[in-house]
Amino acid sequence: MREVARLYEISDASVLRGWIKKYNSHRDLKDTSKGRTNSMIKGRKTTWEERIQIVLDCLENGKDYQEAANTYNVSYQQVYQWV
């Protein structure tokens, strides 16, 4: 569990265990942030220059990965990884 959590940059193995438990009990996995779009799965190809701009914007605005993902139409994971 720890290795998979580390590989996919999940905050902790306990989070992964919770997701698996919900999945196996056939419960819905829902985004916990209210009013936000699901940018966890959408992404797009970007140029090196775009990535630099996104990272700089994110750092200048207090590392709000979700806001940067929404603004630039990329995934949260992409922004997190680039920063």
Residue-by-residue pLDDT tens, the chain, 83 positions: 889 888 888 888 888 888 888 878 876 666 655 444 444 556 788 899 999 999 999 888 887 888 888 889 998 889 989 99
Q: Is the pTM of this model over 0.95?
A: no
Pull the structure tokens for residue 61: 């605005």
Residue 36: exposure state from Cβ atoms within 10 A (0-12, 13-18, ≥19): middle
